Chains A and B, each alone.
Chain A
């Protein structure tokens, strides 16, 4: 086995499809898990060191964060191997964080099967993105700083997945929010990027309030925020003791947090704007890892979710509607990164839908395959932008197949994978979510999922065709505006350097085979592997399953993918697109609605900056005129009073005297009232 492909050997002790084993909770004393704290700490130190040495070492400083990323991957592999050898929920206590008045939180780590999967995804994709950035960010004036921020992100994300309590998770959760803020606004000279960065942070903060309240409530119910403890009183171990109403409330609060980070309705609006960041960031954070944090949170707390079928139903519907809505919007976007962004929102919807229907392991499975193919799609988009002088308008592309063959072929793999064509990875993970939805009686949600699958295949085909196929809608040597809008540059499309294409090839290989290898049958090795770490849906009173069996469901999934791809090909591939956007098939109000993204942004804009701004301005007026006005009035009258009393005094003494007189009045008043 090569360390590069550890995911391929997820053989587990438990029999395939057997009873879900319950993890023993064990304090880790030896082996890689005992030093797992290095995995988040190294990148966090890397962040500080890189910033400190940035001026001295110039661009060479990027070796430090890159090497650290690789080391964390190796450590993650070692941790994974130890978990595989000794399956348990390993808890590593490091130090006290806060211990006051019965509220106790340790800096401690939790390593179980779910953590191990997340560690490999984050450090694996993270390392590839570090490597890719050497080529992509080459020549940027803040080259070293970019890598420092990447390390800050990785460190935070690793705290998030390793934290053994909701609070430590939350520390990482907010840390990735800051890294996201820094990286979206990395090219802050363009104010739009700064605005997008702030929007992301604020939208996430709104979700965070929900998560914070979830923590207050969880603490009031469980007396702890620890997930698992060796003593058996972790919140996930005693989840069964919570009332159905309590579990419903808690689950919905957690959903609110997840909706912020994982861009679900109604908080998804920040993610498309987040594409303002450099493309490697879009790939790493806003596709593969950070945005999956909400899904991870829900999977992690799934033992609570299963206490309330109502809560799960709400989660499933939120996911399904988000998936459908975002896929519809993606149909008519022109920016190659925006299309992928809405696609990401849609795919995250699938994962959340999966959590809601009780497909916890399947949801995480889709998280993994999506990290591969969507990470790949973004890196490919970055490669295209690299070739096209940072243009992102798909209508200015076309025919890039010849100029950049590696990007073309790897993109093809990713498109087929996300479309859900067997035997590529996306087929397995998406189909298994939808199958579970159907089997658990969520027939309407299953149907929405199938419709979304058709749309997905359609818009991804459009994306692919408009970029790579057909006749070029550009000419060699054409003058185009440069990225910063300062001048013009010549257009010379070319394949990207090997530092960029190598990650593409690696991810393409993973996108192709990961699904079949990890979980070929529904209850295959990956599913079995995760069972001890997620909630048990056995006892839930799901609705009756419909009439279709698994073979029919699989067939329908495949048909959906084929129909979508064929439709995309018929509309965009067969005809000449030389005339550009005028060749779009659909016109009129529906197209307008899609292109303007259902006017969600405009609605938020008018409510927040319109109404919110009105409230803030009126409050400030109130403060100045009413609250302060009353004081000034009182002040004036008392000063006048003082002036009458002692005309010759200075301002200081006059004020003092006036105050004193007023004080005596108050004093007398109090005494009189007191004596009554």
Chain B
């Protein structure tokens, strides 16, 4: 009994570790320890809800001004000085909250998934644990291992439970992100070696990185950057995403778009910016000479915004359209992060949350429709607003959020990104703004083709509206979409102090 009492007393001190451990235990339980599908479902839902509660408890005691906090450390590989160290600052915390908030919804959405539900849910829970670990790791080796480990469950989710062309998509996804990751591993090892660090602890490596020359910084920046750019994904390393999304099952798409892409944005801030400040300034704002007088990061971001949107315009498959829209929207995130001012970079982080909610909601809705129609071909739909008014109404709200309508969440991220970027590199903000026009174009055009016009064809006439369970999944998302749109300040209060800390380092203050 003492042991249990002791355990309960330690809970408040180990919330971050719990956020990682609970889903992991849930994965083991649902995947291995039970034979019953129903028990696995409820176990998975329970674990995801518990993790959400733990992250909320973390939020309660969180002090935005205090930097990284609630750190848990366990020795791991003493010889290398690697520890299982987890902790959160504001940037980590909002992404953890995004993950733990979405996970129960994903579990409920996957509830009736017919095929080997236990393994399916276990894969998601393992994924959740790994992603939370990525967002909270305070040790670079832990970060790297978990960053790579996320590939495995997602590879399985696409490769086992995916669509017709799942093998191709899964291998492509795996290879692409793995390659990006490997360049990063090289950089990690080099940094450890060349900087003379005593451990892989985050702070030690930051110190080690300070001794690097500008040329070293450039190379290492590039290596880290590639790993994260594939994840985000940025043009031209984005083509795994549309295939992965089209082949992934609904819940997989939701998790991929809403959470996994954010590992890239998070990596940029946490590692590229802090480890290599001089290279970051040069490559982001074009403060160098010659090749380095071009703000390359912003150029890539703007290309991503416009290119993703233009290609999205002509996609015949609604899921592919949303996948390309992610390329465009994540371009905004990258633009904000590398604009390197408090407004834009904080908004870049907030926009990661917003994109997670809007795109997650979109993929859920598309999945609901796919369950009914077994197609995602836009041309096969038409006039559905008459047949499924609730579905159409929710779809429109989410579309409006995605095209950054003021009053909904997308705007309160995109607008400060652009406004902040304008203060640094005006033309990048102006060009990026046209992403807003294009987003309206491809989203409303798709809406028009799917939901407006005459209701024709037996399939369209037989489509049924959302069930209470599906509405129940959407309601929390819609509530947050509106709430953040009207009152985003709590998010900014969490994020800005941490972002300011990072920027202070970048700007050498």
Contact = CB atoms under 8 A, between A and B. Distances in A.
Interface of A: 51, 95-103, 167, 170-171, 173-175, 178, 181, 185, 188-191, 193-195, 197-198, 201-202, 205-206, 208-209, 212-213, 215-217, 219-220, 613, 615-617, 619-620, 623, 627-628, 631, 635, 638-639, 651-652, 655-656, 658-660, 662-664, 666-667, 670-671, 673-674
Interface stretch (B16-24, B38-46, B101-109, B434-442): B434-442
Given A206-B437, A216-B422, A98 B416 contact: yes
B489 interface: yes
B155 A652 contact: yes
A113 to B, nearest CB: 26
Contacts of B293: none
B186 interface: yes
Given A201-B440, A202-B440, A620-B314, A99 B489 contact: yes
B420 interface: yes
A185 B385 CA distance: 11
B195 interface: no
Given A100-B347, A213-B433, A216-B429, A635 B182 contact: no
A660 to B, nearest CB: 7
Given A198-B445, A205-B436, A213-B429, A628 B182 contact: no
Contact of A666 (B182, B307, B430, B436): B182
B147 interface: no
B164 interface: no
Contacts of B488: 97-98
B453 A190 contact: yes
B310 A100 contact: no
Nearest to B453: A191
A100 B182 contact: no
B452 interface: yes
B457 interface: no
Contacts of A51: 393
B426 interface: yes
Interface string B151-189: 000010001000000010001101110110011011100
Given A99-B489, A616-B311, A619-B307, A663 B182 contact: yes
Contacts of B400: 178
Interface string B233-259: 001101110000000000000000000
B190 interface: yes
20 contacts: A98-B412, A101-B416, A101-B496, A101-B500, A171-B406, A173-B406, A175-B405, A188-B451, A189-B452, A189-B453, A198-B444, A201-B444, A215-B419, A620-B311, A627-B238, A628-B239, A635-B171, A656-B174, A670-B187, A670-B190
Contact of B176 (A185, A205, A631): A631
Contacts of A215: 419
| Nearest 8 Cβ contacts at the A-B interface | A101-B342, A663-B182, A194-B452, A216-B422, A191-B453, A101-B343, A188-B452, A628-B239
Given A101-B341, A627-B239, A670-B186, A212 B436 contact: yes
Contacts of B182: 659-660, 662-664, 666-667
Contacts of A188: 383, 385-386, 451-453
B422 A217 contact: yes
A222 B311 CA distance: 37
B123 interface: no
Contacts of B159: 652
B460 interface: no
Contacts of B412: 98
Given A174-B407, A619-B311, A631-B172, A101 B452 contact: no
Given A101-B345, A201-B444, A652-B159, 17 more contacts: A96-B487, A101-B496, A103-B416, A171-B407, A173-B406, A175-B407, A188-B453, A189-B383, A193-B452, A209-B437, A212-B418, A220-B426, A620-B314, A639-B171, A667-B183, A670-B219, A671-B190
A671 to B, nearest CB: 7
Nearest to A225: B419
Contacts of A175: 405-407
Nearest to A99: B489
B223 interface: yes
Interface in B337-388: 341-347, 383, 385-386
Contacts of A198: 444-445, 448
Given A102-B343, A209-B436, A619 B310 contact: yes
Contacts of B386: 188-189
B492 A100 contact: yes
Contacts of A171: 406-407
Contacts of B240: 631
A190 B219 CA distance: 58
Interface string B379-421: 0000101100000010000001000011100011001101110
B14 interface: no
Nearest to B403: A205
A674 B419 contact: no
B34 interface: no
Given A99-B492, A652-B159, A178 B405 contact: yes
A55 to B, nearest CB: 10
Given A175-B406, A655-B171, A659-B174, A671 B186 contact: yes
B354 to A, nearest CB: 13
Interface in B294-312: 307, 310-311
Contacts of A197: 448, 452
B187, B383, B407, B412 pick with most chain A CB within 10 angstroms = B407
Contact of B175 (A195, A201, A212, A638): A638
B423 A615 contact: no
Nearest to B172: A635
A658 B182 CA distance: 12
A626 to B, nearest CB: 9
B69 interface: no
A615 B306 CA distance: 12
Contact of B342 (A102, A193, A205, A639): A102
Contacts of A174: 405-407, 411
A620 B327 CA distance: 13
A671 B313 CA distance: 42
Nearest to A191: B453
Nearest to B492: A100
Nearest to B342: A101
Contacts of B436: 205, 208-209, 212
B102 to A, nearest CB: 24
